[in-house]
Structure 1
Amino acid sequence: MKFFLDILLLLPLLIFCSLESFVKLFIPKRRKSVTGEIVLITGAGHGIGRLTAYEFAKLKSKLVLWDINKHGLEETAAKCTGLGAKVHTFVVDCSNREDIYNSAKKVKAEVGDVSILVNNAGVVYTSDLFATQDPQIEKTFEVNVLAHFWTTKAFLPAMMTNNHGHIVTVASAAGHTVVPFLLAYCSSKFAAVGFHRALTDELAALKTTGVKTTCLCPNFINTGFIKNPSTSLGPTLEPEEVVNRLMNGILTEQKMIFVPSSIAFLTILERILPDRFLVALKRKINVRFDAVIGYKTKA
């Protein structure tokens, strides 16, 4: 009973915070400067990672680019150098913990302390549980979430010492709502969102107010990883649109970014609506893409 009375006492604070949030919708947020910041981006050899590197290059950040694909990495680096940025590249397998730790040591020795970490590297396999091979499931978790632990453990201590830094988690709308035939991917992205939220709270508990966190959760993006995606929520997102939203979120220190914004509303509905209605709603949303179905073969 005391707990519920304590909750009632918080109602005035709830009303005040709600009004404050509403007013802030009409006030442009101040964007911080990242000039001279050392920015490390994983998965920088293509897609979202590459375009994010371009944007930081335009803002005169010092770039540390990681990818397993040397050719793609070099292409990204060449463009960033052309934009006037200082660039350091490292071929890193983000599914390998020791490779991450060893590369992190090289970064600290050769470049300095990373102040903005963008955990972007990811893999996806479009198949049902039975058609997804065991090594594919393991790699999905190694890259999509475990790598976030290793990179953060490597670079966060310096940020905490300086009380200055930013950890960016590139997750997915699939980290909030599930999609059939993306079982391993959805599970790993739920874990990535959980990592972001738990890390945010842990930093607050440790009173490390200068280290910020941001999580990006987009719908399907036109990067070629998922073949022929479609949904009634709207057209497949273009990478440039997603990166614009990501950069704005980082520079204004936004904690959670949904692209499109309607995804945030759907995640709320999924928690409060009856299951039977949700089944009908998901039929209307009608998420589709090419996938391998192995159930009948196994049966």
Structure 2
Amino acid sequence: MKFFLDCLLLLPLLLIFTLESLLKLFIPKKRKSVTGEIVLITGAGHGIGRLTAYKFAKLKCKLVLWDINKHGLEETAAECKRLGAKVHSSAVDCSNREEIYSSAKKVKAEIGDVSILVNNAGVVYTSDLFATQDPQIEKTFEVNVLAHFWTTKAFLPEMMKNNHGHIVTVASAAGHTGVPFLLAYCSSKFAAVGFHKALTEELAALERTGIKTTCLCPNFINTGFIKNPRTSLGPTLEPEEVVNKLIDGILTEQKMIFVPSSLSFFSVLEKTLPERFLAILRRKINIKFDAVIGYKIKKQ
């Protein structure tokens, strides 16, 4: 009972902070400078990772690029160098913890302390539970969330020492709601969102307010990983649009970025609306894509 009475006393603060948040919507956010920062991007050989590297190159950052795809990585590195950035690239398998640790050790010894870490590498398998092979499930978690632990453990200590840095988690709208035939992917992205939220709170508890965190949660993106995605929420997103939102979010130190922004509204609805209404709403949203179905319904 005392707890609820204490909460009632917080209502004036809720009103003040709500008004403050509304006012901030109309005030342009100050963008921080990242010139000279060492930025490490995983999954930099394609899609969101590649375009994010280009953006940081234009912002005069020193880039460390990782990807398992050596050819794609070389293409990204070449373009970043053309844009005037200093670039170091390495073929790294982000499903391999020891490879991450050894590559991180090499980065710290030969290049310096990473101050912006973009955990972008990801894999997705579009199939139901029965058609998703056990190694695929393991790979999904190794790349989509466990790699975030290993990279952060490798580079966070120096950020903590300097009380300066930024850790970016590339998650997904699928980290906030379940999607049929993306069971492993959704589960891993829920974990990635949880990683971001818990890390944010842990840094605050440790009074390392100079280390910022950002989590990106976009809808379907036209990168080729998911075939023929479609939904009534709107057209498939172009990578350039998502990366522009990501970079803006990093520079203005936003904690959670939904693309499109209306997804944040749906995430609130899912926590508040009755389940039967949500079932109707999900049918209206009508998420579709090509998927492998292993479970066969027996005909009577």
Tell whether the structures are fold-level matches, with TM greater than 0.5: yes
Give the alignment's TM-score, normalised by structure 2.
0.99
Q: Separation in 2 of the partners of 1:75 and 1:223? A: 16
SS state at 1:36 partner? coil
Deviations along 1:184-212, one digit per CA (max 9) or x if unpaired, are 00000000000000000000000001000
Counterpart in the other structure of 2:255: 255
**Alignment-derived partner of residue 145 in structure 1:** 145
Q: Distance in 2 between matches of 1:296 and 1:19?
A: 53
Q: Distance in 2 between matches of 1:288 and 1:261?
A: 21
CA distance in 1, matches of 2:219, 2:43: 18
Aligned to 2:82: 82
Mapped pair 1:99 → 2:99: yes
The answer to whether 1:233 aligns with 2:226 is no
SS of equivalent residue, structure 1 residue 27: coil
Q: Distance in 2 between matches of 1:15 and 1:277?
A: 30
Which residue of 1 is the match for residue 72 of structure 2?
72
Question: Does 1:211 pair with 2:220?
Answer: no
- Partners of 2:84 and 2:78 in 1: how far apart? 10
Tell me the CA shift for residue 298 of structure 1: 11
1:62 corresponds to: 62
Query: For 2:296 and 2:133, how far apart are their aligned partners in 1?
Result: 15
Partner SS state of residue 296, structure 1:
coil
TM-score normalized with structure 1 length: 0.99
Q: How far apart, CA to CA, are the structure 2 residues paired with 1:33 and 1:111? A: 20
Residue 68 of structure 1 aligns to which amino acid in structure 2?
A: I
- In the alignment, which residue of structure 1 is the partner of 2:245? 245
CA deviations 1:70-121 (Å, max 9, x no partner) are 1000000000000000000011000000000000000001100000000000
Residue 184 of structure 1 corresponds to which residue in structure 2? Answer: 184
- Counterpart AA for 2:242: V
In structure 2, how many angstroms separate the alpha carbons of the residues matched to 1:98 and 1:266?
39
Give % identity. Answer: 85
Q: CA deviation at 1:25?
A: 0.4
Query: CA separation in 2, counterparts of 1:209 and 1:256?
Result: 17
* Helix, strand or coil at the partner of 1:295: coil
Shift of 1:39: 0.1
After superposing on structure 2, the runs of 4+ consecutive aligned residues of structure 1 that deviate more than 6 Å are none
- The answer for the alignment partner of 1:126 in structure 2 is 126
**C-alpha distance in 2, partners of 1:258/1:154?**
28
Contact kept, 8 Å, 1:130 with 1:298, in 2: the verdict is no
For structure 1, list consecutive stretches of 5 or more residues without a partner in the other structure. Answer: none
The residue that corresponds to 1:196 in the other structure is: 196
* Deviations 1:161-189, CA, capped at 9 Å, x for gaps: 00000000000000001100000000000
Deviations, residues 212-236 of structure 1 (Å, cap 9, x unaligned): 0000000000000000000000000
Letter in 2 for 1:113: D
Could you tell me how far 1:55 is from its partner in structure 2?
0.1
Instruction: Count residues in correspondence.
Output: 299
Residue type of the alignment partner of 2:33: S
SS at match of 2:186: helix
Deviation at 1:296, TM superposition (A): 1.4
In 1, the alpha carbon distance for the partners of 2:297 and 2:118 equals 40
Matched, 1:50 2:50: yes
Q: What's the offset of the Cα at 1:297?
A: 8.6
Query: 1:229 is aligned with what amino acid?
Result: P
Distance 1:184 1:141 in 2: 8
Check whether the contact 1:214–1:257 (CA below 8 A) recurs between aligned residues: yes
Task: Give structure 2 stretches of 5+ with no counterpart.
Answer: none
